[in-house]
C-alpha cells in the first residue's frame, strides 16, 4: 500500500511538472517573505504578481504563461545566497529578481554573474551595484545619481561655496565623490570636506570644524540618525546655515529626532510622475486586484521590472541567458514604465528624475 501511494505521488508529480514545462516560462525571485523585511516583501510580491497576471491575461509570452518562482531569503544575506543558489542550480532559471536591501543584493550578485544568470533589482540603491557585472541590471536609480542631484540643487539655490560632510562608508564616500566632481565642474567651490562616522552620538567636533569656515550652506550626505544628531547639535552650538541633504535622510523620523533643528532643510529624492498613463494603468490594475490596499513601497519598480522582463522574454531569440540579456538591453531602450524611462545604460543602470523636499512646520513637503 505504502509503495502504491509513493508511486502514485511520483507519477502525479511527473505529470504535473511535465505539464508545467509545456505551458509556462519561469523566472525566479529571491524575496524577503519572512524576517525583518517581510513587511515590504509581501508588497513586492503582490506588485510582481499583478504584473504577471496582466501579462498572462494579455496572452502570455509566446503563448506561454509567465510564472514567478518565489524563494524566501529570511531577509538575510545568507538566506539570499542559498535562495539564489537553489534557483540557479535546481530550478535552472536564466533570469532572477534579486533581493531587497543593497547588502543582500551585493551578497548574491557575484554568484549570478559567475553563473551567467541575469539578476534584476527593483529596490537596491547602493552605488557599488553598478560594478556588479554585465548580467546585473536594476530598474531603481543608483545612489550615484543623487550626488548629481544634490550638486544641481546646490548650484540652483545660488550657493557657490559650501562645506561638504558625508557619512564615512562606501555609500557616503561614493556619493561625496560624485557631488564634488559635479559641483566643482559647475564652478562651485568646496571650502572644507570632512567625513563623519556612522552611528556616533556626538558630532560636536565635526560641527565645530564646519563652523570654523562660516559657511552659508553645508551639504550633508548622510542617513537619518546621523543627520538628526548633527542638525540638533549644530543648532545647540549656534551654527545657523542652510543644510542640503539627499534622499536617505528624507524621513519623518528625522523630524522626530531633530525637532525644530530640522526646519528648513532642503534635499533631493528620486521621483516619478503619478500623472502618466502608465502610472494610471498600474494604479487601476492594483485597485482591481487588491481592492482597499495601498500601493506598496517600491511596488511600482517591481511592477516595471516584471513588465520589462516579459518584453525581453518575448523578443529573445532563445531561452539562453545570453539571448535574454541582449533582448533585455534592446527592449529597455526608450521603454517608459510606471516609474519613468527604464533605458539601461552600459552598466545596467537607469536614469532618474529628482524632486526636491524640504521640512516646513514640522513636516516634509515638496520644495518649490
Partner 1 sequence: MTSYYAQLLVNGIIAGSIYAMFAVGLAMVYGVFKFINFSHGELITWGAYLTWMFSSSPFSLPVYISVVPALLITVGIGLAQDRFVYRPLRQSNPIAILIASIGLSYMLRNGIRLCWGSDLQTFDLPLSTGILLSGIYITKIQILMVLSALLFFSILYFLLTCTLLGKSLRAVSDNIELSAIMGINMTKVTWTIWVLASVFAGTGGILLALDTSLDPMMGMNSLIKAFAAVLLGGAGNVWGALIGGLFIGIAENISVAFISPDYKDFISYGLIFLLLLFKPRGFFGIAGGVR
With CB under 8 A as the contact rule, which of the stretches 59-67, 80-88, 175-183, 226-234 interacts with partner 1? 226-234
Distant-in-sequence, close-in-space partners of 194: CB < 8 Å, separation ≥ 6: 163, 164, 165, 206, 209, 210
Is 138 a residue that touches partner 1 (CB under 8 A)?
no
- Restricted to residues 151-190, the positions that interact with partner 1 (CB under 8 A) are 168
Collapsing DSSP states into helix, strand and coil, what is residue 32? Answer: coil
C-alpha cell at 233: 547639535
Using the minimum distance from each CB to partner 1, give the nearer residue, 262 or 295. 262
Is 362 a residue that touches partner 1 (CB under 8 A)?
no
Choose which of 61, 132, 148, 225 interacts with partner 1 (CB under 8 A).
225
Secondary structure in 3-state letters for 149-197: HHHHHHHHCCCCEEEEEEECCHHHHHHHHHHHHHHHHCCCEEEEEEEEC
Choose which of 110, 259, 264, 285 interacts with partner 1 (CB under 8 A).
259
Using the minimum distance from each CB to partner 1, give the nearer residue, 75 or 278. 75
Is 70 a residue that touches partner 1 (CB under 8 A)?
no
Q: How remote is the C-alpha of 288 from its chain's centroid?
A: 26
18 CB neighbour count, 10 Å cutoff:
9
Collapsing DSSP states into helix, strand and coil, what is residue 363? Answer: strand
Using the minimum distance from each CB to partner 1, give the nearer residue, 202 or 287. 202
Is 39 a residue that touches partner 1 (CB under 8 A)?
no
Is 204 a residue that touches partner 1 (CB under 8 A)?
yes
Choose which of 23, 114, 170, 202 interacts with partner 1 (CB under 8 A).
202
Distance CA 108, CA 175 (A): 23
Instruction: By CB under 8 A, name the binding residues for partner 1.
Output: 168, 194-197, 199, 201-206, 208-209, 212, 225, 229, 232-233, 235-238, 257-261
Amino acid at each position: 500500500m505504502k509503495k502504491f501511494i509513493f508511486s502514485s505521488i511520483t507519477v502525479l508529480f511527473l505529470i504535473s511538472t511535465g505539464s508545467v514545462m509545456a505551458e509556462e516560462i519561469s523566472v525566479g525571485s529571491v524575496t524577503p517573505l519572512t524576517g525583518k523585511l517581510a513587511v515590504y516583501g509581501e508588497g513586492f510580491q503582490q506588485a510582481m504578481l499583478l504584473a504577471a497576471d496582466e501579462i498572462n491575461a494579455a496572452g502570455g509570452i509566446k503563448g506561454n504563461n509567465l510564472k514567478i518562482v518565489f524563494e524566501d531569503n529570511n531577509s538575510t544575506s545568507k538566506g539570499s545566497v542559498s535562495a539564489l543558489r537553489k534557483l540557479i542550480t535546481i530550478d535552472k532559471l536564466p533570469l532572477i529578481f534579486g533581493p531587497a536591501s543593497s547588502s543582500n543584493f551585493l551578497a548574491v550578485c557575484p554568484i549570478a554573474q559567475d553563473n551567467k544568470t541575469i539578476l534584476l533589482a527593483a529596490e537596491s540603491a547602493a552605488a557599488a551595484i553598478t560594478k556588479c557585472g554585465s548580467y546585473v541590471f536594476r530598474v531603481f536609480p543608483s545612489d550615484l545619481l543623487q550626488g548629481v542631484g544634490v550638486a544641481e540643487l546646490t548650484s540652483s539655490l545660488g550657493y557657490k561655496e559650501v562645506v561638504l560632510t558625508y557619512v564615512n562608508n562606501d555609500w557616503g564616500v561614493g556619493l561625496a565623490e560624485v557631488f564634488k566632481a559635479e559641483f566643482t565642474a559647475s564652478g562651485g567651490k568646496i571650502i572644507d570636506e570632512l567625513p563623519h562616522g556612522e552611528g556616533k552620538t556626538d558630532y560636536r567636533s565635526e560641527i565645530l570644524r564646519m563652523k570654523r569656515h562660516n559657511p552659508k550652506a553645508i551639504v550633508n550626505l548622510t542617513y537619518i540618525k546621523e543627520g538628526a544628531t548633527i542638525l540638533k547639535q549644530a543648532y545647540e552650538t549656534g551654527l545657523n546655515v542652510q543644510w542640503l541633504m539627499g534622499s536617505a535622510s528624507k524621513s519623518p523620523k528625522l523630524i522626530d529626532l531633530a525637532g525644530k533643528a530640522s526646519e528648513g532643510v532642503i534635499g533631493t529624492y528620486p521621483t516619478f510622475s503619478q500623472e502618466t498613463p502608465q502610472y494610471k494603468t498600474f494604479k487601476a490594475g492594483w485597485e482591481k486586484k487588491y481592492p482597499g490596499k495601498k500601493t506598496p513601497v517600491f511596488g511600482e519598480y517591481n511592477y516595471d521590472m516584471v513588465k520589462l522582463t516579459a518584453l525581453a522574454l518575448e523578443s529573445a531569440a532563445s531561452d539562453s541567458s545570453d539571448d535574454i540579456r541582449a533582448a533585455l538591453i534592446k527592449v529597455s531602450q526608450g521603454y517608459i514604465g510606471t516609474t519613468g524611462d527604464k533605458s539601461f545604460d552600459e552598466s545596467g543602470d537607469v536614469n532618474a528624475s529628482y524632486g526636491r523636499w524640504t521640512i516646513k512646520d514640522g513636516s516634509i513637503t515638496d520644495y518649490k
